[in-house]
Chains A and B, each alone.
Chain A
Protein backbone atom coordinates (compact mmCIF):
# COMPACT_ATOMS: atom_id res chain seq x y z
CA UNK A 1 0.00 0.00 0.00
CA UNK A 2 1.51 3.26 -1.05
CA UNK A 3 0.62 6.37 0.68
CA UNK A 4 0.94 9.50 -1.36
CA UNK A 5 1.45 12.41 0.90
CA UNK A 6 2.06 15.93 -0.11
CA UNK A 7 5.09 17.31 1.67
CA UNK A 8 3.94 19.74 4.28
CA UNK A 9 4.26 23.32 3.15
CA UNK A 10 5.23 25.94 5.61
CA UNK A 11 4.72 29.61 5.25
CA UNK A 12 6.86 31.99 7.16
CA UNK A 13 5.05 33.75 9.94
CA UNK A 14 4.48 37.27 8.79
CA UNK A 15 3.29 39.64 11.47
CA UNK A 16 0.80 42.23 10.40
CA UNK A 17 1.79 45.53 11.87
CA UNK A 18 -0.72 47.98 13.04
CA UNK A 19 -0.55 51.04 10.87
CA UNK A 20 -2.87 53.93 11.27
CA UNK A 21 -4.08 55.33 7.98
CA UNK A 22 -2.30 58.47 6.83
CA UNK A 23 -4.43 61.12 5.19
CA UNK A 24 -3.65 62.08 1.59
CA UNK A 25 -3.25 65.61 2.89
CA UNK A 26 -0.66 64.76 5.57
CA UNK A 27 1.77 67.31 4.16
CA UNK A 28 -0.58 70.22 4.97
CA UNK A 29 -0.37 69.48 8.69
CA UNK A 30 2.98 71.11 9.45
CA UNK A 31 5.18 73.74 7.84
CA UNK A 32 8.23 71.44 7.41
CA UNK A 33 6.05 68.91 5.59
CA UNK A 34 4.55 71.60 3.39
CA UNK A 35 8.02 72.96 2.66
CA UNK A 36 9.12 69.46 1.66
CA UNK A 37 6.22 69.09 -0.77
CA UNK A 38 6.76 72.60 -2.20
CA UNK A 39 10.43 71.73 -2.75
CA UNK A 40 9.41 68.55 -4.58
CA UNK A 41 6.76 70.42 -6.62
CA UNK A 42 9.47 72.85 -7.78
CA UNK A 43 10.49 70.11 -10.23
CA UNK A 44 7.27 70.70 -12.20
CA UNK A 45 8.34 74.31 -12.77
CA UNK A 46 11.83 73.18 -13.78
CA UNK A 47 10.10 71.07 -16.46
CA UNK A 48 7.96 74.05 -17.51
CA UNK A 49 11.12 76.08 -18.05
CA UNK A 50 12.46 73.34 -20.34
CA UNK A 51 9.25 73.58 -22.40
CA UNK A 52 9.64 77.38 -22.74
CA UNK A 53 13.30 77.02 -23.72
CA UNK A 54 12.53 74.39 -26.36
CA UNK A 55 9.67 76.50 -27.75
CA UNK A 56 12.15 79.37 -28.04
CA UNK A 57 14.62 77.14 -29.92
CA UNK A 58 11.84 75.97 -32.24
CA UNK A 59 10.72 79.55 -32.92
CA UNK A 60 14.32 80.65 -33.60
CA UNK A 61 14.69 77.77 -36.04
CA UNK A 62 11.50 78.73 -37.91
CA UNK A 63 12.52 82.30 -38.69
CA UNK A 64 12.13 85.87 -37.47
CA UNK A 65 8.31 85.96 -37.84
CA UNK A 66 7.85 82.81 -35.79
CA UNK A 67 10.23 84.27 -33.20
CA UNK A 68 8.23 87.52 -33.01
CA UNK A 69 5.09 85.44 -32.39
CA UNK A 70 6.92 83.55 -29.63
CA UNK A 71 7.91 86.87 -28.01
CA UNK A 72 4.27 88.06 -28.13
CA UNK A 73 3.18 84.77 -26.53
CA UNK A 74 5.62 85.43 -23.66
CA UNK A 75 3.88 88.79 -23.08
CA UNK A 76 0.49 87.13 -22.52
CA UNK A 77 -0.47 88.08 -18.93
CA UNK A 78 -1.27 84.48 -18.03
CA UNK A 79 2.15 83.32 -19.22
CA UNK A 80 3.81 86.20 -17.34
CA UNK A 81 1.93 85.18 -14.17
CA UNK A 82 2.93 81.55 -14.67
CA UNK A 83 6.55 82.61 -15.16
CA UNK A 84 6.46 84.69 -11.96
CA UNK A 85 5.32 81.61 -10.03
CA UNK A 86 7.96 79.59 -11.88
CA UNK A 87 10.70 82.05 -10.86
CA UNK A 88 9.68 81.68 -7.21
CA UNK A 89 9.87 77.89 -7.45
CA UNK A 90 13.15 77.68 -9.36
CA UNK A 91 14.79 80.05 -6.85
CA UNK A 92 13.29 77.94 -4.04
CA UNK A 93 14.80 74.87 -5.69
CA UNK A 94 18.22 76.54 -5.98
CA UNK A 95 18.24 77.79 -2.37
CA UNK A 96 17.11 74.47 -0.89
CA UNK A 97 19.60 72.62 -3.12
CA UNK A 98 22.57 74.77 -2.07
CA UNK A 99 21.59 74.66 1.58
CA UNK A 100 21.83 70.87 1.72
CA UNK A 101 25.06 70.81 -0.32
CA UNK A 102 27.29 70.46 2.80
CA UNK A 103 25.49 67.23 3.65
CA UNK A 104 26.02 65.89 0.13
CA UNK A 105 29.70 66.80 -0.08
CA UNK A 106 31.75 66.58 3.08
CA UNK A 107 35.01 68.24 2.09
CA UNK A 108 38.09 67.81 4.27
CA UNK A 109 40.98 70.20 4.44
CA UNK A 110 44.10 69.32 6.46
CA UNK A 111 42.20 66.54 8.16
CA UNK A 112 39.38 68.78 9.31
CA UNK A 113 35.94 69.00 7.83
CA UNK A 114 35.30 72.29 6.06
CA UNK A 115 32.49 74.10 7.93
CA UNK A 116 29.05 74.03 6.29
CA UNK A 117 29.05 77.81 6.06
CA UNK A 118 31.96 77.83 3.60
CA UNK A 119 30.49 75.14 1.36
CA UNK A 120 27.13 76.90 1.20
CA UNK A 121 28.91 80.23 0.64
CA UNK A 122 31.01 78.78 -2.19
CA UNK A 123 27.84 77.49 -3.84
CA UNK A 124 26.15 80.89 -3.64
CA UNK A 125 29.25 82.61 -5.01
CA UNK A 126 29.40 80.15 -7.91
CA UNK A 127 25.65 80.70 -8.50
CA UNK A 128 26.22 84.47 -8.76
CA UNK A 129 29.21 84.01 -11.10
CA UNK A 130 27.36 81.58 -13.40
CA UNK A 131 24.33 83.89 -13.49
CA UNK A 132 26.50 86.87 -14.47
CA UNK A 133 28.23 84.94 -17.26
CA UNK A 134 24.90 83.74 -18.69
CA UNK A 135 23.43 87.24 -18.45
CA UNK A 136 26.50 88.57 -20.28
CA UNK A 137 25.73 86.17 -23.15
CA UNK A 138 22.01 86.87 -23.26
CA UNK A 139 21.67 90.60 -22.57
CA UNK A 140 22.53 92.10 -25.97
CA UNK A 141 20.31 94.72 -27.45
Chain B
Protein backbone atom coordinates (compact mmCIF):
# COMPACT_ATOMS: atom_id res chain seq x y z
CA UNK B 1 0.00 0.00 0.00
CA UNK B 2 1.21 3.49 -0.84
CA UNK B 3 0.62 4.64 2.72
CA UNK B 4 3.71 2.95 4.12
CA UNK B 5 6.24 4.44 1.72
CA UNK B 6 4.80 7.94 2.19
CA UNK B 7 4.96 7.83 5.95
CA UNK B 8 8.43 9.45 6.46
CA UNK B 9 7.51 12.37 4.18
CA UNK B 10 4.17 12.86 5.91
CA UNK B 11 5.84 12.69 9.30
CA UNK B 12 8.46 15.25 8.25
CA UNK B 13 5.69 17.61 7.11
CA UNK B 14 3.88 17.02 10.41
CA UNK B 15 7.02 17.78 12.37
CA UNK B 16 7.97 20.89 10.38
CA UNK B 17 4.42 22.19 10.69
CA UNK B 18 4.45 21.48 14.42
CA UNK B 19 7.62 23.52 14.96
CA UNK B 20 6.39 26.38 12.79
CA UNK B 21 2.97 26.41 14.45
CA UNK B 22 4.43 26.30 17.98
CA UNK B 23 6.73 29.28 17.37
CA UNK B 24 4.44 31.67 15.50
CA UNK B 25 0.73 30.81 15.82
CA UNK B 26 0.21 31.80 19.50
CA UNK B 27 1.30 35.42 18.96
CA UNK B 28 -0.53 35.69 15.62
CA UNK B 29 -3.72 34.34 17.11
CA UNK B 30 -3.48 36.46 20.26
CA UNK B 31 -3.19 39.61 18.13
CA UNK B 32 -5.63 38.87 15.31
CA UNK B 33 -8.20 36.92 17.32
CA UNK B 34 -8.29 38.78 20.65
CA UNK B 35 -6.09 41.84 21.13
CA UNK B 36 -7.12 43.68 17.93
CA UNK B 37 -10.87 42.84 17.83
CA UNK B 38 -11.31 43.56 21.56
CA UNK B 39 -9.38 46.82 21.35
CA UNK B 40 -6.64 45.85 23.84
CA UNK B 41 -4.04 46.93 21.27
CA UNK B 42 -4.81 49.30 18.35
CA UNK B 43 -5.24 47.24 15.17
CA UNK B 44 -2.93 47.91 12.21
CA UNK B 45 -4.62 49.83 9.40
CA UNK B 46 -5.69 48.37 6.07
CA UNK B 47 -3.05 50.28 4.09
CA UNK B 48 -0.20 49.07 6.27
CA UNK B 49 -1.27 45.40 6.23
CA UNK B 50 -1.95 45.50 2.51
CA UNK B 51 1.54 46.88 1.84
CA UNK B 52 3.01 44.25 4.18
CA UNK B 53 1.35 41.35 2.35
CA UNK B 54 2.47 42.83 -0.99
CA UNK B 55 6.05 41.95 -0.01
CA UNK B 56 7.01 38.65 -1.67
CA UNK B 57 8.83 37.48 1.45
CA UNK B 58 5.72 38.05 3.61
CA UNK B 59 3.61 36.07 1.12
CA UNK B 60 6.14 33.26 1.07
CA UNK B 61 6.00 33.20 4.87
CA UNK B 62 2.19 33.06 4.93
CA UNK B 63 2.16 30.34 2.29
CA UNK B 64 4.70 28.15 4.13
CA UNK B 65 2.91 28.68 7.43
CA UNK B 66 -0.51 27.77 6.04
CA UNK B 67 0.65 24.73 4.11
CA UNK B 68 2.88 23.21 6.80
CA UNK B 69 0.35 23.91 9.57
CA UNK B 70 -2.34 22.15 7.52
CA UNK B 71 -0.12 19.09 6.91
CA UNK B 72 0.61 19.10 10.63
CA UNK B 73 -3.15 19.07 11.29
CA UNK B 74 -3.77 16.35 8.71
CA UNK B 75 -1.24 13.96 10.24
CA UNK B 76 -2.23 14.51 13.84
CA UNK B 77 -5.96 14.50 13.24
CA UNK B 78 -5.68 11.32 11.18
CA UNK B 79 -4.06 9.45 14.06
CA UNK B 80 -6.48 10.97 16.56
CA UNK B 81 -9.34 9.51 14.56
CA UNK B 82 -7.56 6.17 14.13
CA UNK B 83 -6.75 5.80 17.83
CA UNK B 84 -9.59 7.71 19.40
CA UNK B 85 -12.50 6.26 17.49
CA UNK B 86 -11.02 2.91 16.39
CA UNK B 87 -12.95 2.89 13.14
CA UNK B 88 -10.55 0.77 11.12
CA UNK B 89 -12.88 0.25 8.18
CA UNK B 90 -12.88 4.03 7.55
CA UNK B 91 -9.09 4.48 7.75
CA UNK B 92 -8.63 5.00 4.01
CA UNK B 93 -11.42 7.57 3.90
CA UNK B 94 -9.87 9.39 6.87
CA UNK B 95 -6.47 9.34 5.13
CA UNK B 96 -7.84 10.93 1.95
CA UNK B 97 -9.99 13.48 3.76
CA UNK B 98 -7.14 14.67 5.99
CA UNK B 99 -4.41 15.01 3.37
CA UNK B 100 -6.97 16.05 0.75
CA UNK B 101 -7.99 18.89 3.07
CA UNK B 102 -4.35 19.91 3.54
CA UNK B 103 -3.75 19.88 -0.22
CA UNK B 104 -6.92 21.90 -0.89
CA UNK B 105 -5.90 24.44 1.76
CA UNK B 106 -2.43 24.70 0.24
CA UNK B 107 -3.92 25.30 -3.21
CA UNK B 108 -6.29 27.94 -1.76
CA UNK B 109 -3.38 29.70 -0.02
CA UNK B 110 -1.30 29.59 -3.20
CA UNK B 111 -4.18 30.97 -5.26
CA UNK B 112 -4.91 33.84 -2.82
CA UNK B 113 -1.27 34.81 -2.37
CA UNK B 114 -0.26 34.46 -6.02
CA UNK B 115 -3.16 36.68 -7.13
CA UNK B 116 -2.80 39.15 -4.26
CA UNK B 117 -3.33 42.68 -5.55
Q: Footprint of B on A, CB under 8 Å?
A: 22, 24, 27, 37, 40-44, 46-47, 49-50, 52-54, 56-58, 60-61, 64, 67-68, 71, 74-75, 79-80, 83-84, 86-87, 90-91, 93-94, 97-98, 104, 126-127, 130-131, 134-135, 137-141
Contacts and interface: CB of A to CB of B under 8 A. Distances in A.
Nearest to A82: B33
B113 A43 contact: no
Given A49-B29, A94-B22, A75 B37 contact: yes
B interface: dominant SS? helix
Q: A interface, by DSSP: helix, strand, loop or mixed?
A: helix
Interface of B: 15, 17-19, 21-34, 36-38, 41-50, 52-53, 62, 65-66, 69-70, 72-73, 75-77, 79-80, 84-86, 101, 105, 108-109, 112-113, 115-117
22 contacts: A40-B76, A40-B80, A43-B72, A46-B25, A50-B109, A52-B29, A54-B66, A56-B32, A60-B53, A60-B116, A61-B116, A67-B46, A67-B50, A71-B43, A84-B33, A86-B29, A97-B19, A130-B23, A131-B23, A135-B31, A138-B28, A139-B42
